[in-house]
């Protein structure tokens, strides 16, 4: 019998192209007015400005030169650690979404929780586009840096003190 426990095997390339739910995006964009989609391609981008290779030094240089960009990131699961590292190194301000079922993992412990200002856990499961079914089998969190917490959405905000 296959172990159905939370063993960290969910961060696989087959889940890399799951798109942000349009209804969720519209609500967030109304509050934050995103200008740059960090991990997107020409088929799933949510902003006019986007990058399919957020780790590219030229992309990173552009982000650093334009600090007023409001970043959005829905990282590919198979590269989450690397993408969050870039996000927090490059981001003047922004929001990211990520699975919230393994907060003991390296990406949460070494990157997200040490760098985020807040983590918002929405009530109920988020449905991603490009995946079968009505929602994911894992909870998701929205992660903020240098922006006000989410308004007009049910859930709980955890404020982090990173001094």
Q: Residue 7: pLDDT above 60?
A: no
How confident is the model over 17-27, as pLDDT tens digits?
677 889 999 99
Virtual torsion, Cα 162, 21, 140, 156, nearest 10 deg: 70
Whether residue 64 has pLDDT greater than 60:
yes
The Cα 53–Cα 117 span in angstroms is 25
State what percent of residues in the chain have pLDDT above 90.
Answer: 47
Domains of the chain listed by start with CATH number: 16-159 (3.40.50)
Residue 135: per-residue pLDDT = 61
- Which is more confident, 151 or 67? 151
Check residue 61 and give its pLDDT: 78
Q: What does the alpha-carbon distance between residue 46 and residue 61 come to, in Å, rounded to a whole number?
A: 21
Are 98 and 72 in contact, with CB atoms under 8 Å apart?
A: no
Q: What does the pLDDT read at residue 144?
A: 97
Residue 75: name the closest of 135, 23, 6, 128 by CA.
128
Quick one: pLDDT at residue 67?
76
What separation in angstroms does the CA of 142 have from each of 10, 117, 130? 18, 11, 19
For residues 28 and 138, which has the higher predicted lDDT (pLDDT)? 28
Q: Which residue has the higher pLDDT, 11 or 103?
A: 103
């Amino acid at each position: 019998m296959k172990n159905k426990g939370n063993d960290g095997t969910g961060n696989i390339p087959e889940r890399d192209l799951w798109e942000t739910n349009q209804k969720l995006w519209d609500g967030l964009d109304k509050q934050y007015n995103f200008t740059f989609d960090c991990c997107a391609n020409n088929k799933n981008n949510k902003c006019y400005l986007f990058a399919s290779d957020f780790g590219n030094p030229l992309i990173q240089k552009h982000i650093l030169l334009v600090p007023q960009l409001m970043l959005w990131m829905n990282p590919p699961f198979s590269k989450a650690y690397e993408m969050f590292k870039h996000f927090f190194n490059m981001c003047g301000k922004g929001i990211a979404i990520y699975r919230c079922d393994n907060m003991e993992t390296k990406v949460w412990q070494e990157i997200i929780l040490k760098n985020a200002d807040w983590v918002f856990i929405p009530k109920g499961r988020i449905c991603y586009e490009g995946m079968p079914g009505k929602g994911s089998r894992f909870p998701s969190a929205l992660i903020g840096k240098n922006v006000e917490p989410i308004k007009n959405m049910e859930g709980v905000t955890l404020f982090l003190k990173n001094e």
